[in-house]
Structure 1
Amino acid sequence: MAELVGLAEGVASLVNDGDTVALEGFTHLIPVRAGQEIIRLGRRGLTLVRMTPDIVYDQLIGAGCASRLVFSWGGNPGVGSLHRLRDAVENGWPGPLELEEHSHAGMANRYVAGASDLPFAVLRGYAGTDLMRHTETLATIACPFTGEVLTAVPALRPDVTIIHAQRADRRGNVQLWGLTGVQKEAVLAARRSLVTVEEVVDALDPRPNAVVLPSWVVTAVAVVPGGARPSYAAGYYDRDNRAYQEWDAISRDRATFTAWLSENVLDPVPS
């Protein structure tokens, strides 16, 4: 059964230096507060995994937590580039960052293979791209039935997956709904998992198209109201579009970013 923990306790016990860490959430339910807790704890040498790294990964990279990024698209959604990511790749600041790029379909299938305890997945999704020339974790494979040449991608098994959800019950069963991505698959593929939630309730009531993660597949649950801001949590709060726009200016300059990080993440003033 999943353990109910505080955010700092959960991140400290589950995320170690050198781990492969996935923080998943598509457009909403992005575990921003948990990512910032990783920064506060000063974790280093992480391989960060995410289908669509956005501003919380920009913060993790700029804070020096990451040495490698496995992804399929990266950017400040609706605004532009991730400048801390670009600085790391182009200039090695605050340290060099190795990239492993896949397609969206490839990343999703890698999580599914990991969740299914399979060594790899097979798909057509890389046909017509030049990723085969740049990504070592891709290989061609012939279908044993038709002879069709397909692409194989290795299973993705993060050391720890962190997601945000709307709620959990007191036994640690987690419920999320709205626009979901690969959160379920990423949790099932991981060796350890932490789910931050808006609230803990006595019982989970039915929700249309809701995803429920049973307690026995989740390592720990932490109550973190607003844990996805500035992204949104359906039924709880909206997306803060201004925060994404403001991030562009904050992240462009190293000194501005460092000051923001100190004021808002490393040593925030209590509200």
Structure 2
Amino acid sequence: MPDKRIGLSEAVSSIESGMTIGIGGWGSRRKPMAAVRELLRSDVTDLTVVAFGGPDVGLLVAAGKVRKLIYGFVSLDSIALDPLFTAARERGELEINEYDEGMFVTGLRAAASRLSFLPTLAGIGSDVMAANPHLKTVASPYSDDEYVAVPATPLDVALIHVNRSDSGGNAQFLGPDPYFDDLFAMAAARTFVTTERIVETEDLLDEGSFHTLMLSRMYVTGVIETPRGAHFTTCEPDYGRDEAFQKHYAASAKDPESWRAFVAEFLGGDEAGYHEAVARFHAVQEKK
């Protein structure tokens, strides 16, 4: 079995301006935040981002990395809206495809199946159709039914974060939900998996049943060991969401001066520097 371990900078350096990237996870849950932060440090721009969005989308939008967003929602979960994305959306700065969640998944399924579209009932009779005039309907060849023909959403690169992986890319989630990360990987030409820990293949079943082996190595281009790589989002059961830090993120994002200070403190250095700054933040909070 090939060893697919690579460095975070090596993986992200293969992403080029203009690409379509899918970001796994769900809202503020098990997001590949270490990879997102590495993208922030790059000179990549003009991205099309496909996501059930959270702070990943907010950060990339605020940094001017995103031209187009294809999404089902953007939320911080315990905080309803991501303020960075919301502000950009209200200013009309983004080209968007704002899909019903079922339609969003259908687009990924089509790309994963190497089809140009798939039919779905999701969106029929809703304002989603009016908001997406490019969408077309198709008549069933077997009945009088009509479906939304959701175009495939092929990805140049998918970024996902998991709890465990072996060195070959067999990836495991141990939390409550796979969040469609397998579809992101299958819809992508290349997939980079960040993981809390790389383990031996024979140890993958030590913490979960075979049902948790979400992703076969055949879909994985590279594996990057990134402890706390989903911070500040959840990565259950390894850790929960850093609610105090997320509140600080959201509050800082609402004021330009506070946001510049946040970026300088937490996003101005490398990944190790980020975690050191987060530790200092919590040390100050504990003294209050």
In the alignment, the residues of structure 2 paired with residue 48 and residue 213 of structure 1 have an alpha-carbon distance, to the nearest angstrom, of 21
Within the candidate set 86, 94, 98, 1:97 is matched to 94
Q: Which residue in 2 is equivalent to 1:191? A: 189
Select the structure with the greater relative contact order (CA < 8 A; seq sep ≥ 6): 1
Within the candidate set 125, 130, 154, 1:133 is matched to 130
**One-letter amino acid of the structure 1 residue matched with residue 194 of structure 2:** T
TM-score using structure 2 length: 0.87
Q: Which residue in 2 is equivalent to 1:71? A: 71
In the alignment, the residues of structure 1 paired with residue 256 and residue 64 of structure 2 have an alpha-carbon distance, to the nearest angstrom, of 12
Within the candidate set 187, 194, 212, 1:210 is matched to 212
**One-letter amino acid of the structure 2 residue matched with residue 196 of structure 1:** T
Moved more, 230-239 or 35-44: 230-239
Once the two structures are superposed, the pairs formed by residues 106-255 of structure 1 within 5 Å of their partners are 106-178=103-175, 179-203=177-201, 204-206=203-205, 207-208=208-209, 209-255=211-257
Q: Which residue in 2 is equivalent to 1:49? A: 50
**Partner SS, residue 133 of structure 2:** coil
In the alignment, the residues of structure 2 paired with residue 43 and residue 142 of structure 1 have an alpha-carbon distance, to the nearest angstrom, of 41
Q: Which residue in 2 is equivalent to 1:21? A: 21
For structure 2, list consecutive stretches of 5 or more residues without a partner in the other structure: 277-288
In the alignment, the residues of structure 1 paired with residue 118 and residue 174 of structure 2 have an alpha-carbon distance, to the nearest angstrom, of 27
In the alignment, the residues of structure 1 paired with residue 172 and residue 88 of structure 2 have an alpha-carbon distance, to the nearest angstrom, of 36
**One-letter amino acid of the structure 2 residue matched with residue 233 of structure 1:** C
CA shift digits 1:190-236 (9 cap, x unpaired)? 01110000111112432233033222210111010000111122231
**One-letter amino acid of the structure 1 residue matched with residue 195 of structure 2:** V
CA shift digits 1:13-46 (9 cap, x unpaired)? 2x11111111111253211111111011131111
**One-letter amino acid of the structure 2 residue matched with residue 181 of structure 1:** Y
**Number of positions where the alignment pairs a residue of Structure 1 with one of Structure 2:** 266
TM-score using structure 1 length: 0.92
Q: Are the counterparts in 2 of residues 80 and 248 from structure 1 also a CA contact under 8 Å?
A: no
Deviation at 1:244, TM superposition (A): 2.3
Moved more, 200-209 or 54-63: 200-209
CA shift digits 1:122-141 (9 cap, x unpaired)? 11110231111121342111
Within the candidate set 255, 258, 265, 1:256 is matched to 258
Q: Are the counterparts in 1 of residues 109 and 152 from structure 2 also a CA contact under 8 Å?
A: yes
Q: Are the counterparts in 2 of residues 184 and 211 from structure 1 also a CA contact under 8 Å?
A: no
In the alignment, the residues of structure 2 paired with residue 144 and residue 248 of structure 1 have an alpha-carbon distance, to the nearest angstrom, of 49
Q: Which residue in 2 is equivalent to 1:265? A: 267
Identity %: 27
**One-letter amino acid of the structure 2 residue matched with residue 67 of structure 1:** R
In the alignment, the residues of structure 1 paired with residue 236 and residue 196 of structure 2 have an alpha-carbon distance, to the nearest angstrom, of 11
In the alignment, the residues of structure 2 paired with residue 233 and residue 248 of structure 1 have an alpha-carbon distance, to the nearest angstrom, of 20
In the alignment, the residues of structure 1 paired with residue 162 and residue 265 of structure 2 have an alpha-carbon distance, to the nearest angstrom, of 27
Q: Are the counterparts in 1 of residues 17 and 47 from structure 2 also a CA contact under 8 Å?
A: yes
**Partner SS, residue 23 of structure 2:** strand
**Partner SS, residue 37 of structure 2:** helix
**Partner SS, residue 248 of structure 2:** helix
Q: Are the counterparts in 1 of residues 170 and 213 from structure 2 also a CA contact under 8 Å?
A: no
For structure 1, list consecutive stretches of 5 or more residues without a partner in the other structure: none
**Partner SS, residue 180 of structure 1:** coil
Q: Which residue in 1 is equivalent to 2:285? A: none
**One-letter amino acid of the structure 1 residue matched with residue 192 of structure 2:** L
Root mean square deviation of aligned Cα: 1.7
